Structure 1
Amino acid sequence: MRPVCPFVKAARPPEPSKKESSADTATISPKCPLGYDSQTFKLGPLSCMICHALLFDSAKCVPCSHSFCKACISRFKDCPLCGADIEKIEADINLQNLVDRFIEGHARIKRSHNAEDKQDSTPESNSNDDNNNSKRVIYEDVSLERGAFLVQQAMRAFRAQNIESAKSRLSLCAEDIRGQLETMGNTSELCSQLGAVLGMLGDCSRATGDAGSAVSYFEESVEFLSKLPRNDQEITHTLSISLNKIGDLKYYDGDLKAARSYYFQSLNVRRDAVKDDPNVPSQLLDLAVSFAKVADVDRNLGDEDVAIDEFQEGIKLLESLTLKSEDTGLEQRRLSVLEFLKSQIVEKQT
């Protein structure tokens, strides 16, 4: 199962009422004027051509003057666009200010114009004035939800290892959601969005080696996701992942007891999910992975018999799991986890 997208269930623009849908009103679909399409997030003129995200800490190459994110272009000796040798890079403050103003306004602008307020007065448009003047045209947001846009840009930056850019977009997204929580309360949708975004911020901190900040973000993610009903597979998956990531950080820090506590919490979340819906293969795979993590810690703590039982429990789950022929990805993962679990028992016996 893929990690939950925090905005998959975000509310769509409301459908026009019957009155607004009449012949007297036309609704224009959202459209970003700079090409950042709300559905496909196409590249636009404010994008870095290296990471394909919005420019962050913009820098231009000298002498060719092509602009990129500073972190992205710093890895090159010649310009990726024109091939010119880079003598030095300079901050492009004016361009970055433009990007920042665009982000601040993106997905927040709602406009309402009358059709007769057209600026062009071509003969063709004037000939249609008699038909159009009576219609009130409603322009919705210029893009999809602001949060979805920011997360998309952050994911692009993260994949390109521009971590500071990703953190900047995610932090702004988290700030927006916190503001909505203050006015709307802890709704299921907002808590799930904030929980997922905080988890992504934790990934950013972990990628830069800041384990303390990563744990803080993951713990806050768990706090919000724990407020939600446990009847949503994606929310349950994300909650268990955040718990496991805290466990991983504690494990690598040598705090095995703390690691086991978080791994065991994740195990219980996944147990409950399987109990509620035992016919979801991805959840059974997740549960087997949790058994492996808890067993590994128990072995390191000296509880060998307990660890063997947990490894065997995971093996039993995976051997009883029947997948459809089209689930090739899940089957590969099942075989990989199963091989690991069996190797742990064989290793001890030899």
Structure 2
Amino acid sequence: MKNKYETDGIASDDILRLADDVVADNRRKKPWKLLVVDDEEEVHSVTNLALDGFEFASRPLQIIDAYSGAEAKKIMAEENDIAMILLDVVMETEQAGLDVVKYIRDELGNRFVRIILRTGQPGQAPEYKVITEYDINDYKQKTELTREKMFTLVYTSLSCYRDMMALEANRHGLEKVIEASARIFELRSLEQFTQGVLEQLTALLYLDQDAVLVKAAALATEPQDKRLNIVAATGRYSEYVGKNAEEVLETDVFNLILQARETKENAYGEDFCVDFHVTQSGTEQIIYASGSQPLSIPGRHMIDLFSHNVAIAHENVSIIEDKK
């Protein structure tokens, strides 16, 4: 069955409908996870009330409740994308909260989650000793966390977590680029190079919709015959590398890609973009990227630069292969 764009062309209202559908889909963002650990029910109720309607980077907040150190350890062992913890010190033992910190940092090896200790009374845990001996990110008295201060604390903590996860994703992408650079004109290395650069790009622009941020999503396609094959992908599309875009992508996303290819123009929505690039020899590449917030002008330029350079790299490999 032919796609509508292949028979009737593109109507302006169809384009608007597609853009609206994609924006609506992107608004259903994966929430930031906040773990509240306290043995008092009232603390959980007050925290939920104070953070009602909270959003950061256009993503909502999901609050997970734990009522003991043991329960907190179990949740942390099962959930690897919790961004922040509000952690009571004294629960089933005098230092249950401190034991949770050691478990998270030492046994789980989780250095990314932001841990804020909360104590009910001054002197329950000496602040200087806790800060110097435990890997925490802040230390607060429960009575000082008003609604405004709670908002600020959560906002700054999530911002730090997002940036740390972006740097980690960037590091992984850079490793792939470095590893592939020595053999850049081998097809397998070129694919690895493309994947690595795309991972860096989405990390720097906070585009990884399905992982932590941001869990951030993007894909790069190149035409082969009449198919659009996915040659690099991140986020929710990462399992589709090497597959036919028409067979695995959402209809709305694929139609936006077809629109860019037919019009040979870029398209930008509230929190997505489709970037079309063609080299002098006719090599075409299209990037669809979605994020948690609108793309800035510099961000659009970075995506266009990525598309341009990768298209040239693929073109050079093709030229070398033709000469063999």
- If the length of structure 2 is used for normalisation, what is the TM-score? 0.25
Instruction: Name whichever structure is richer in strand by fraction.
Output: 2
Larger radius of gyration: 1
Instruction: Name whichever structure is richer in helix by fraction.
Output: 1
- If the length of structure 1 is used for normalisation, what is the TM-score? 0.24
